[in-house]
Amino acid sequence: MIYPLTVKQLMVAAVERFGDRTALVHEDRSYTYAELATQANQLGHALVALGIKPGDPVAILLENGIDYVVADQAIARIGAARVALTDMLSAKDIAYCLNDCQATVAIAGETMLSTAVGSGSTSLHTILAVGDSVPDAESVGSEADDNSSAAPAITRLSDAVAGQPSSLPESSPSATDLGLIIYTGGTTGKSKGVMHHQTGLTLNLLSQMIESGIGEDERVLLTSPLPHASGFLLQVAFLRGATVFLDQKFDPVAVLRRISQDGVSFTFMVPTMIYRLLDALAERGGSDPGGADDGGKSGDSVDTTALRTILYGAAPITEDRLQQGLQLLGPVFVQLYGQTEAPNFLTRLRREDHTTDPRYRHRLASCGQAVAMARIKIVDANDPDKGELAIGEVGEVIASSPYNMSGYHNLGPATANTLRDGWLYTGDIGRLDADGYLYLLDRKNDMIISGGMNVYTTEVESLIAGVDGVGQVAVTGVPHPDWGEAVVAFVVAESKTDTDLLLDRVMQICRTDLAKYKVPKEIFYVDLLPTTAFGKVDKKALRASIAD
């Protein structure tokens, strides 16, 4: 008999193999694989009793914690579709997503409960509320902006699972059942619900097992929101029988403590988090192979010998920071490139590629080579029918993998524009070198056209990032009466001293090293760069700040 490929199959098999092993450590409490399975099965039975069938969307509105993990596992075990939303989204965005996905059941924590009740969703009939004190829907709705005349019923989660069996729920998801709706960051408009079906999700998890390198003895630390990339790594870690340390948010000192005291060997970050970690480590005298166990107190070194991998994405790491990282932590860096439409791994920049060797350091500007289960091509951004471009030519990045999305929810035209003949049109602008390394230059929608000339913001950002005293930089385009668009830059200084001199120095270097049409018309000093709910620089907000 040939079994359909489903996430349920993978997760159940993992628990059968790793039952007594520690699966999760959260807030200094440990949970075995068997304990997680029992709680997930009980919640799965409760969801089935509420009418949830394979392929039905179930919303998760929870912070990082044991309740999120159990909900995630329960949804996988009955073959439903996970719709996980972070509290970093606005109430308006959450309401939009709940209405769009048409979930009938939501699992919500205290911080997002009123938002769920006030979403105005016409499909949501039950909210399973996490916490000891659960108000009724009427009182919650009066505090929220409730647009619905029929508020959903609120049931305490603990009451819903009380008395439910601990056995695996009876459900038979098929390969084509919907398994996930994940919403894009929405930096260029309303968020799109990206749909993935069971077979694609299963193959995606297998690809991530290969490319992440997470082993059976891994001790994984996750500190970023689980509704995004970290959620996939959580599932991969469980499939490998690893132990996951789950923290609610990123704190560099807490991360150092986890590495030093708990022997964390694998963690996931974006470059900004890496920089903060390196700064915290440098302040404490660097790493200590001898095994300091003080948890990273100021002035004392930290034992980082257990750390094998820092997986990162969203942007390349700068060369000077890489040199610092290699000195303090050793060869631990691995970069991924993927999209919500093809999660996490389309390309990978390996440990050995993270080198300052003059022969290969140009690869640091890349995001690596295509992974085993994906193919990458470059086509003309304006006329893709011209076919694949030659090595080194700049165009739109397109990708083929068995885990490309199945489409955007309720957005047929957008789906047809993005998925064509088995290829995902990423909207990213880039080039491939002769060795197959992919270099991203810009988002198609972020590319600036100034005086009829294309300006790739990453080129300008890379130059400014290398100026002494610059901590972070973002470049975008704004409307201009003469040029169509004008290039502007936003700079965060490493320190607040002599910021005027810093901006003058940045402008002088831009005028010296860039073509005239690429030089920023203005450079603004900001205390920090705004980010989306998923940690990416929010250029839409930066453009709005100029308008304001």
Minimum mean pLDDT range among 15-29, 72-86, 484-498: 484-498
Percent of the chain past pLDDT 90, that is, above it, reads 67
> What is the C-alpha to C-alpha distance for residues 303 and 324, in angstroms, rounded to an integer?
17
**Mean pLDDT in residue range 447-457:** 78
> In sequence order, what are the beta bridge partners of 83?
59
Do 7-15+28-173 and 448-547 share a fold? no
Minimum mean pLDDT range among 182-191, 277-286, 349-358, 537-546: 182-191
* pLDDT for residue 290: 47
Q: Estimate to the nearest angstrom the gap between the alpha carbon of 20 and the chain centroid.
A: 30
Interval 206-258: pLDDT, tens: 999 999 999 999 999 999 999 989 999 999 999 999 999 999 999 999 999 99
Which of the four pLDDT bands, split at 50, 70 and 90, describes residue 548? low
Interval 285-325: pLDDT, tens: 777 654 444 444 444 678 999 999 999 987 778 788 888 99
Place of tokens 């631990």: 332
* pLDDT for residue 263: 97
Q: What is the pTM of this model?
A: 0.83
Statement: residue 534 has pLDDT above 70 = no
Statement: residue 1 has pLDDT above 60 = no
Interval 370-395: pLDDT, tens: 999 999 999 998 888 898 999 999 99
**Mean pLDDT in residue range 459-486:** 87
**For all residues of the chain together, what is the average pLDDT?**
89
Statement: residue 80 has pLDDT above 60 = yes
* pLDDT for residue 191: 81
Q: What are phi and psi of 425, to 5 degrees?
A: -85, 105
Query: What sign does the CA torsion over 237, 238, 242, 246 have?
Result: positive
* Best CATH choice for the domain 448-547 from the list 3.30.56.10, 1.10.10.10, 3.30.300.30, 3.90.1150.10: 3.30.300.30
Structure tokens at 310: 């820092």
**Mean pLDDT in residue range 364-368:** 92
CB 272 within 8 A of CB 314: no
CB 46 within 8 A of CB 128: yes
* pLDDT for residue 439: 94
Interval 103-146: pLDDT, tens: 999 999 998 999 999 999 999 999 999 987 566 555 555 444 44
- All structural domains of the chain with their residue ranges: 7-15+28-173, 448-547
pLDDT: is 169 or 318 the higher one?
Answer: 169
Interval 515-526: pLDDT, tens: 788 899 999 999
Statement: residue 437 has pLDDT above 80 = yes
**Mean pLDDT in residue range 54-67:** 97
Statement: residue 161 has pLDDT above 90 = yes
Q: Estimate to the nearest angstrom the gap between the alpha carbon of 14 and the chain centroid.
A: 24
Name residue 194's amino acid: V
* pLDDT for residue 138: 53
Q: What CATH number has the domain spanning 7-15+28-173?
A: 3.40.50.980
* pLDDT for residue 140: 57
> What is the C-alpha to C-alpha distance for residues 299 and 291, in angstroms, rounded to an integer?
15
Q: Which residue, 396, 525, 507, 383, is CA-closest to 456?
A: 396
> What is the C-alpha to C-alpha distance for residues 118 and 152, in angstroms, rounded to an integer?
9
